[in-house]
């Protein structure tokens, strides 16, 4: 059972000068923002979308989030047991959202170990591009030069199932191979080909990072690897999720960073942007220092690589600096 609405409402009325009720939400002037007079603190005793057993709150001004237990502890300056008693909770039911968020770093490490256990390797007859024979070296260089993508750290497969594909390796923060994707340059109907399903790793299990920045740094989340590499050529940290969907695992892997959604300009990209934003908010962006922003290429360019090919890195980076905007939804936390 969730926290009783009237119990929390009565507590809020005793502690705050003004209280507003909007549907399932109890709105307060936030204690986490200076001079708030516009009820930025939204509280949901029923626990929001995921029905958290200890309720949830969200300050829309500071982006502070947590359970109603932690809010009572903060306001009343009491310990957890006293806060539970105040909210009428006599029996523990699950874990507050703060404790769930503490698992994120541990989860990332666990996934890294799990992926390593797959013993993944690049396809046979795969070599660094600058070490390939003259035929495949020229084919790969001509293709990548046409896309303005550096050939450093990329491979070419010269035989077998992946012949004629640029092999893009995915690494973990520790530098271990966890996945790869092969982009054809010889006209195959199948443009991209990843590892065989038998390896047990799918694209929804991983993210492609062009580099691994410090915690809380800005990363730019793209759909494909070449778009991520294009932004890396502009001095940004490009990351690719492999399409227009973001899995729960991928969203959690982004929890240590500020995320700019940098998706394609087509209609599907616009729809995916909202869907990814909702997932990031509901799953992992709990720390108040996290922020989500968005930026898309100009309307006459489908993606970042096309934009880069038509112009240059300086123009692309200047455009992003001018057009990137922070996302601040007015949708109450509990309705997500």
Task: Please write the tens of the pLDDT for every residue from 209-254.
Answer: 999 988 889 999 999 999 999 999 999 999 999 988 888 888 888 8
> Tokens 């923002």 label which residue?
33
Dihedral of alpha carbons 175, 176, 179, 183, sign: positive
If DSSP codes are grouped into helix, strand and coil, which group holds residue 96?
coil
Dist CA 122 CA 38 (whole Å):
56
Dist CA 137 CA 149 (whole Å):
14
Q: What is the mean pLDDT of residues 315-329?
A: 88
pLDDT at 256: 80
pLDDT band at 36 (very low <50, low <70, confident <90, very high): confident
More confident call, 328 vs 188: 188
pLDDT at 318: 96
Flag the least confident range among 89-103, 174-188, 216-230, 293-307: 89-103
pLDDT at 248: 84
**Alpha-carbon distance values, 137 to 70, 132, 152, 164, 274 (Å):** 59, 5, 12, 11, 41
- Beta-carbon count within 10 A of 259 CB: 25
pLDDT at 287: 47
pLDDT at 53: 83
* Residues 6+ positions from 287 with CB-CB distance below 8 Å: 101, 255
Dist CA 287 CA 333 (whole Å):
14
Contact 334, 24 (CB under 8 A): yes
pLDDT band at 283 (very low <50, low <70, confident <90, very high): low
Report the b/e string of 44-71 with b at 16+ CB within 10 A.
bbbbbeeebbbbbbbbbbbbbbbbbbbb
User: Is residue 309 scored above 90 in pLDDT?
Assistant: yes
Q: What are phi and psi of 26, to 5 degrees?
A: -110, 120
User: Is residue 118 scored above 60 in pLDDT?
Assistant: no
Show me where the domains of the chain are located. Answer: 5-98, 126-204, 207-335
Contact 59, 287 (CB under 8 A): no
Q: What is the mean pLDDT of the chain?
A: 85
Contact 269, 121 (CB under 8 A): no
Which element (helix H / strand E) includes 219?
A: strand 218-222
Q: What CATH topology corresponds to 126-204? A: DNA primase DNAg catalytic core, N-terminal domain (3.90.980)
User: Is residue 99 scored above 90 in pLDDT?
Assistant: no
Going by C-alpha positions, the residue among 251, 264, 244, 242 that lies closest to residue 179 is 242
More confident call, 93 vs 326: 326
* CATH code, residues 207-335: 3.40.1360.10
> ∠316-319-320 over CA atoms, to 5°?
90
Dist CA 228 CA 209 (whole Å):
8
Q: CA 324, 292, 231, 269: dihedral to nearest 10 degrees? A: -90
The correct CATH number of 5-98 out of 3.90.580.10, 3.60.15.10, 3.40.190.10, 3.40.30.10 is 3.90.580.10
User: Is residue 109 scored above 60 in pLDDT?
Assistant: no
Q: pLDDT exceeding 90 applies to what percent of the chain?
A: 52
Do the domains 207-335 and 5-98 match in fold?
no
> Tokens 């666990």 label which residue?
110
């Amino acid at each position: 059972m969730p926290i009783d609405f009237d119990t929390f409402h009565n507590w809020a009325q005793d502690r705050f000068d003004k209280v507003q009720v909007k549907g399932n939400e109890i709105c307060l002037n936030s204690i986490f923002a200076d001079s708030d007079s516009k009820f930025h603190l939204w509280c949901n005793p029923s626990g929001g979308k995921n029905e958290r057993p200890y309720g949830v709150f969200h300050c829309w001004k500071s982006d502070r989030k947590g359970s109603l237990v932690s809010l009572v502890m903060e306001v009343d300056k009491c310990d957890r047991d006293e806060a539970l008693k105040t909210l009428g909770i006599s029996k523990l039911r699950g874990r507050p959202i703060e404790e769930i968020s503490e698992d994120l770093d541990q989860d990332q490490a666990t996934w890294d170990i799990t992926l390593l256990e797959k013993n993944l390797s690049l396809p046979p007859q795969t070599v660094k591009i600058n070490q390939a024979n003259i035929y495949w070296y020229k084919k790969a260089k001509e293709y990548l030069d046409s896309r303005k993508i550096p050939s450093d750290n990329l491979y070419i497969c010269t035989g077998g199932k992946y012949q004629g594909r640029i092999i893009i390796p995915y690494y973990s923060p520790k530098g271990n191979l966890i996945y790869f994707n092969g982009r054809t340059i010889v006209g195959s109907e199948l443009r991209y080909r990843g590892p065989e399903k038998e390896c047990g790793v799918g694209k929804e299990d991983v993210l492609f990072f062009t580099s691994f920045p410090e915690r809380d740094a800005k990363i730019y989340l793209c759909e494909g690897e070449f778009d991520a590499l294009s932004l890396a050529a502009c001095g940004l940290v490009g990351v690719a999720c492999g399409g227009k969907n973001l899995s729960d695992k991928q969203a959690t892997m982004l929890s240590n960073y500020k995320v700019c959604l940098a998706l394609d300009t087509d209609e599907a990209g616009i729809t995916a942007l909202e869907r990814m934003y909702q997932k990031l908010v509901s799953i992992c962006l709990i720390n108040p220092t996290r922020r989500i922003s968005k930026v898309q290429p100009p309307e006459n360019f489908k993606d970042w690589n096309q934009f880069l090919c038509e112009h240059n890195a300086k123009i692309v980076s200047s455009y992003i600096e001018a057009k990137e905007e922070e996302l601040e939804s007015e949708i109450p936390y509990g309705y997500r």
